[in-house]
C-alpha cells in the first residue's frame, strides 16, 4: 500500500495554502506531518482524504491515479480520516456514531444491529475503550468522544489512515492506547499519517517525519534523523530560542492572593489551595479528573456546593457569577475557543476589548479608533501582530485566535488568570509566545492557574503543579520535583502506580 503525491498545490483566492508538494507515504510506516499552524499540513491531509480538492497535482493510490470528490468517496477507497475538530453527532448513541455512514446492512434500507454490536465489541477491545455503546456521545468527555471518532475510523478497515491532531483531546492513558493502535495498523501494512504539535509524540511514534513551512514541504526523512531542535528549526526556519523558564524561577516567598478551602462542586471534592502573587500554578490530571471544573468554580462560572474564599487574606462570599469574579480581578480563559471564546464575525480588536469596554468608551461611545488602540496595547503583551487587529478573528489561525483571547484576558487587567488548555491545538511559535506572555505576567506580579494535558508544558512553565485525581488534589509538586513522569504516575491515582 502506498500513497504518492506529486506537485500537489492548493490555492484559496490569492493565498497559497500548499505549493508543489511531492510526498510518498508507504504502508508499514508511520508518517508524521509537522509544521506551524497554516503551514499546510492539515490541507495536505485534507487533500489525500477527499475533503479538499487540490488546485494542482496528482494523487496515486498504489500507482493508480485517484481524485476523491468527498470524504465518503475517499473512505470507500479505504482512505479514512480523523479530523481535527470532532465530527461526532452528540445526540446519537456511541454505537450509531461509530457506524454512521458505513452501517453493516441487512437489506438496502435497514442495518444489521447484531453485526454492528459484534463489530463494536471488536473495535472497542482493539483500542481498549470501555465505553457503553448505548449512551449518547454528547454525554461523554471530549477524550472519549475522540475515542469514538477513532473507533469509527478503525471500523472502516482503513488502508490509509489520516489523523489530524488525534491526541490533542486525549489523556495520557488514551494516548498510549492510540499509540498501540497505530503500531498495530503499521504492522498490518496500513499507511498511517498524522499531524501533531507534540514533538515528543512525533519523535516517539513515527517512522518518517515531514516538515511543512509556509505551504511547502521543507524537509522529510526517517525520524531517527530528526531531533526536537532540528524539527523546531525546520518548522520556524531558524534555530529556536532556548531557555523558556529561564531567569524567573525565583524561590522567594510571595504574598498570598487567593486561598480556597473545602471547595466542592460538580466533580471537585474538598479541594483546598492557595495562589500567590507572581506564581504560575499548573493543574495536572486525567481528562475527567475535575481540572476544568476547578477552574470554572473559581471563575464563578459554576456554583460550588461548599467552599470558603479568601482574597488578599480577607474572607469573602464565593463569587456568584463570572462578573463578580472578574470584578475581583479573576479572569477565566476558556479551553473551547471556537464555541466559548471568539466572536468569529467580529474583528480581532473588537474581540480583544470585549470583556472590558468601560475604558474603551468615551461618554458611552465606542469608536473604532479607541477599540484599536486599546486592543493594540493588550495585543502587544502577547506578541500579537498589530496589522491583524482589523481582520475578522474567525479568519485567523488557531494560534493567533488563542493569542487574541489571551490579550482579551489581559485587557481585563486580571490579578489571577485561570487558563484552561491555553495552548491546545496551536503551533509551536504561538505556544512559545503564549508561554512567554504568561511568564511575563507572573514576573510582573500577576498570578496564573493553568490546566494542560501536555505535561511537558506544565514542567516548563509552572512554579508549582497540583495533580488532580477523581476530583481531589492528590499531590503538590514544586520546582525541581515537577517531572513529567511523576505527574503521569500521580494522575492515575494510587491505582495507576506500579
Partner 1 sequence: MTQVSKTMVTRPDDTASSRPDAGRARSGVRRVGEAVALYAPVLMLVVLVIVASVLNDRFWAPENLRNMLTQNSALALVAFGMTLVIIAGVFDLSVGAIFAAGSVIFAMLSNEVLLLPAALITVVVGALAGAVNAYVVNSLRVNSFIGTLATGAVFSGLVYILCDSSPVQARREGFETLGLGRIAGVPCALIVAVAAFGLCAALLNGTIFGRYVFAVGGNAAAAHLTGVPVRAVRAACFVLVGALAALGGMITGSQLGLGQPTLGSNIALDAFAVVVIGGTSVYGGRGALWRTASAVLVLATLTNIFNALAWDTTRQSVAKGLIIIAAVALDAARSRSDHA
Kindly identify the residues of this chain, within the stretch 167-186, that bind partner 1 according to CB under 8 A: 173
Work out which of 11, 16, 96, 413 binds partner 1, going by CB under 8 A.
96
What does the DSSP 8-state code read for residue 347?
B
Q: How far is the CB of 495 from partner 1 (least distance, A)?
A: 6
| Residue whose CB is less far from partner 1, 94 or 217 | 94
Work out which of 127, 142, 203, 377 binds partner 1, going by CB under 8 A.
142
Does 121 bind partner 1 (CB under 8 A)? Our answer is no
Kindly identify the residues of this chain, within the stretch 456-495, that bind partner 1 according to CB under 8 A: 470, 492-493, 495
- Cell numbers standing for residue 163: 489523523
| Residue whose CB is less far from partner 1, 217 or 458 | 458
- Cell numbers standing for residue 28: 508499514
- Write each residue from 298 to 337 as x if it is in contact with partner 1 (CB under 8 A), else as -, in one continuous string: ---xx--------------------------------xx-
- Cell numbers standing for residue 35: 509544521
Does 267 bind partner 1 (CB under 8 A)? Our answer is yes
Q: How far is the CB of 297 from partner 1 (least distance, A)?
A: 10
Kindly identify the residues of this chain, within the stretch 331-390, that bind partner 1 according to CB under 8 A: 335-336, 339-340
| Residue whose CB is less far from partner 1, 91 or 247 | 91
- Sign, CA torsion 346/349/355/361: negative
| Residue whose CB is less far from partner 1, 19 or 472 | 472
Closest to 18 measured CA to CA, from 70, 61, 53 = 53
Does 101 bind partner 1 (CB under 8 A)? Our answer is yes
- Cell numbers standing for residue 360: 474603551
Q: How far is the CB of 423 from partner 1 (least distance, A)?
A: 16
Residues 148 and 196: their CA atoms lie apart, in Å, by: 19
| Residue whose CB is less far from partner 1, 144 or 279 | 144
Strands 314-316 and 306-311: antiparallel
Residues 416 and 446: their CA atoms lie apart, in Å, by: 6
Note the helical H segments in 354-469.
Answer: 368-381, 398-411, 428-443, 455-461
Part in contact with partner 1 (CB under 8 A); list of ranges 124-132, 209-217, 360-368, 480-488: 124-132
Kindly identify the residues of this chain, within the stretch 34-73, that bind partner 1 according to CB under 8 A: 51, 70-72
Contact 437, 381 (CB under 8 A): yes
Q: How far is the CB of 283 from partner 1 (least distance, A)?
A: 12
Does 157 bind partner 1 (CB under 8 A)? Our answer is no
Work out which of 100, 121, 343, 385 binds partner 1, going by CB under 8 A.
100
Residues 178 and 75: their CA atoms lie apart, in Å, by: 20
Q: How far is the CB of 69 from partner 1 (least distance, A)?
A: 12
**C-alpha 260: how far from its chain's center?**
28
Work out which of 144, 165, 433, 463 binds partner 1, going by CB under 8 A.
144
| Residue whose CB is less far from partner 1, 247 or 498 | 498
Angle, vertex CA 476, rays to CA 475 and CA 480, nearest 5: 125
Does 239 bind partner 1 (CB under 8 A)? Our answer is no
Part in contact with partner 1 (CB under 8 A); list of ranges 284-292, 370-378, 384-392, 474-482: 284-292
Q: How far is the CB of 377 from partner 1 (least distance, A)?
A: 30
Q: How far is the CB of 220 from partner 1 (least distance, A)?
A: 28
Query: Over the range 57-71, which residues count as b (16 or more CB within 10 Å of their CB) and which as e?
Result: bebebeeeebebeeb
Q: How far is the CB of 270 from partner 1 (least distance, A)?
A: 13
Query: Over the range 380-399, which residues count as b (16 or more CB within 10 Å of their CB) and which as e?
Result: ebbbbeeebbeebbeebbbb
Closest to 447 measured CA to CA, from 309, 331, 285 = 331
Closest to 406 measured CA to CA, from 429, 432, 378, 386 = 378
Residues 399 and 212: their CA atoms lie apart, in Å, by: 16
Residues 403 and 120: their CA atoms lie apart, in Å, by: 41
Closest to 164 measured CA to CA, from 132, 196, 199 = 196
Q: How far is the CB of 199 from partner 1 (least distance, A)?
A: 25
| Residue whose CB is less far from partner 1, 231 or 301 | 301
Contact 335, 311 (CB under 8 A): no
Residue ranges binding partner 1 (CB under 8 A): 51, 70-72, 75, 81, 83, 86-92, 96, 100-103, 105, 109-111, 130-132, 135, 138-144, 152, 173, 266-268, 286-293, 296, 301-302, 335-336, 339-340, 420, 470, 492-493, 495-496
Amino acid at each position: 500500500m502506498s500513497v504518492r503525491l506529486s506537485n500537489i498545490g492548493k490555492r484559496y483566492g490569492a493565498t497559497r495554502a500548499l505549493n508543489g508538494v511531492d510526498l510518498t507515504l508507504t504502508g508499514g510506516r508511520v508518517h508524521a506531518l509537522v509544521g506551524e499552524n497554516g503551514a499546510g499540513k492539515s490541507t495536505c491531509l485534507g487533500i489525500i482524504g477527499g475533503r479538499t480538492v487540490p488546485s494542482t497535482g496528482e494523487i496515486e493510490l498504489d500507482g493508480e491515479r485517484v481524485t476523491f470528490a468527498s470524504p465518503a468517496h475517499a473512505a470507500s477507497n479505504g482512505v479514512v480520516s480523523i479530523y481535527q475538530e470532532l465530527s461526532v453527532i452528540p445526540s446519537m448513541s456511541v454505537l450509531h456514531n461509530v457506524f454512521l455512514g458505513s452501517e453493516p446492512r441487512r437489506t438496502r434500507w435497514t442495518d444489521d444491529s447484531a453485526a454492528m454490536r459484534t463489530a463494536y465489541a471488536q473495535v472497542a477491545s482493539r483500542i481498549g475503550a470501555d465505553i457503553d455503546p448505548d449512551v449518547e456521545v454528547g454525554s461523554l468527555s471530549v477524550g472519549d468522544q475522540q475515542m469514538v471518532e477513532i473507533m469509527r475510523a478503525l471500523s472502516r478497515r482503513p488502508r490509509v489512515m489520516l489523523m489530524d491532531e488525534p491526541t490533542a483531546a486525549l489523556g495520557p492513558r488514551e494516548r498510549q492506547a492510540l499509540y498501540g493502535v497505530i503500531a498495530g495498523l503499521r504492522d498490518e501494512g496500513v499507511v498511517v499519517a498524522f499531524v501533531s504539535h507534540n514533538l515528543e509524540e512525533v519523535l516517539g511514534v513515527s517512522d518518517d517525519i515531514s516538515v511543512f513551512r509556509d505551504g511547502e514541504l521543507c524537509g522529510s526523512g526517517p525520524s531517527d534523523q530528526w531531533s526536537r531542535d532540528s524539527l523546531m528549526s525546520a518548522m520556524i526556519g531558524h534555530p529556536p530560542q532556548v531557555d523558556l523558564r529561564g531567569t524567573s524561577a525565583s524561590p522567594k516567598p510571595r504574598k498570598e492572593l487567593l486561598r480556597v478551602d473545602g471547595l466542592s462542586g460538580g466533580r471537585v471534592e474538598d479541594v483546598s489551595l492557595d495562589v500567590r502573587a507572581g506564581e504560575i500554578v499548573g493543574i495536572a490530571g486525567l481528562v475527567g479528573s475535575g481540572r476544568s471544573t476547578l477552574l470554572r468554580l473559581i471563575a464563578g462560572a459554576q456554583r460550588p456546593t461548599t467552599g470558603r474564599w479568601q482574597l488578599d487574606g480577607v474572607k469573602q462570599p464565593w463569587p456568584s457569577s463570572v462578573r463578580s469574579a472578574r470584578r475581583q480581578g479573576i479572569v477565566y480563559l476558556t479551553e473551547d475557543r471556537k464555541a466559548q471564546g471568539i466572536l468569529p464575525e467580529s474583528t480581532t480588536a473588537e474581540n480583544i476589548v470585549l470583556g472590558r469596554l468601560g475604558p474603551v468608551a468615551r461618554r458611552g461611545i465606542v469608536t473604532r479608533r479607541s477599540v484599536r488602540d486599546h486592543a493594540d496595547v493588550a495585543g502587544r503583551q502577547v506578541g500579537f501582530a498589530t496589522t491583524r487587529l482589523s481582520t475578522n478573528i474567525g479568519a485567523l489561525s488557531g494560534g493567533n485566535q488563542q493569542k487574541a483571547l489571551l490579550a482579551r484576558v489581559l485587557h481585563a487587567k486580571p490579578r489571577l488568570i485561570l487558563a484552561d488548555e491555553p495552548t491546545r491545538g496551536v503551533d509551536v511559535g504561538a505556544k512559545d509566545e503564549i508561554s512567554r506572555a504568561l511568564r511575563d505576567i507572573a514576573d510582573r506580579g500577576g498570578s496564573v492557574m493553568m490546566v494542560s494535558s501536555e505535561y511537558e508544558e506544565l514542567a516548563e512553565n509552572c512554579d508549582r503543579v497540583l495533580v488532580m485525581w477523581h476530583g481531589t488534589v492528590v499531590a503538590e509538586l514544586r520546582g525541581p520535583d515537577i517531572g513529567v513522569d511523576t505527574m503521569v504516575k500521580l494522575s492515575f491515582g494510587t491505582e495507576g502506580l506500579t
